Amino acid sequence: MKLHTLLLSTLLCTSFATADNTAVKQEGVKYIKMLGGALKTELKAQMKADKSGMGALGFCTAKANEITVDVNKKLPDYAKVRRTALKVRNESVNKPDALDEKVMKEYVAAIEAKTFTPKDIKVVEAGDSTRVYKPLVAKAVCLKCHGSDLSEEISKSLATNYPHDQAVGFKEGDLRGVIVSEIKKH
Ligand code: HEC
């Protein structure tokens, strides 16, 4: 009987924990999509309007952080969403912390081991918050501003606006960074 009760409570606790984790994951993914979607829509439109990428670059330089701040205003007080990377362009707002770095290194290792899938959302406990990470893989379209073969005008603009830019030299399929949502336990 005792064993039965113990087993039952273990089962219940486990399923509660999983249900909880799934709910946080879903909520985090929702916020990640809000930020990712807002940036992607703008980037696409800008790249279409000006194939050189200069219009989009001006846009990202001026507005990426503003869009991030706006999306965050729409979230509940206990939640945040941001972008970061191992090699950052805008170090004043997108710098990773130790946990971000650890998670991103796991993605890089998976890419190297060829076990990676972009659907690998990671849910990580971080003190009084839970973090939900989504990997961002460099695609051909990203390389105009993050690749090795940048046009002269793009290089110049980056050098002026981001003198410490590390976010170049990527190839298709590399981990460019992550979007991370932080959800305070509430
Ligand atoms: C038109 C140029 C351009 C293109 C194309 C572009 N980016 Fe960026 N990217 C930028 C700029 C400029 C910043 C810095 C924005 C800021 O000041 O917040 C940036 C920042 C980022 C960041 C935030 C971390 C950091 O380094 O500061 C990530 C992640 C990122 N880009 C991923 C991508 C991905 C993935 C793609 C392709 C889908 C892409 N970018 C395409 C110009 C571009």
Given a cut of 50, whether residue 118 has pLDDT beyond it is yes
Mean pLDDT of 68-78: 98
Is the shortest distance between the CB of 57 and ligand 1 below 6 Å? yes
Instruction: Report pLDDT for 119.
Output: 95
Mean pLDDT of 15-29: 79
Is the shortest distance between the CB of 139 and ligand 1 below 6 Å? yes
Share of the chain above pLDDT 70, in %: 89
Given a cut of 70, whether residue 14 has pLDDT beyond it is no
Closest ligand 1 atom, residue 84 Cα: 24
Rounded to the nearest whole angstrom, what is the distance from the C-alpha of residue 1 to the centroid of ligand 1? 59
Rounded to the nearest whole angstrom, what is the distance from the C-alpha of residue 39 to the centroid of ligand 1? 9
Residue indicated by tokens 């336990």? 185
Is the shortest distance between the CB of 157 and ligand 1 below 6 Å? no
Given a cut of 90, whether residue 164 has pLDDT beyond it is yes
Mean model confidence pLDDT for the chain = 92
Mean pLDDT of 51-73: 96
Our mutation pick for probing the ligand 1 site, out of 52, 60, 143, 165, counting the most ligand atoms within 8 A of Cβ, is 60
Instruction: Report pLDDT for 56.
Output: 96
Region class of 9: left (phi > 0), else alpha (psi between -120 and 50), else beta:
alpha
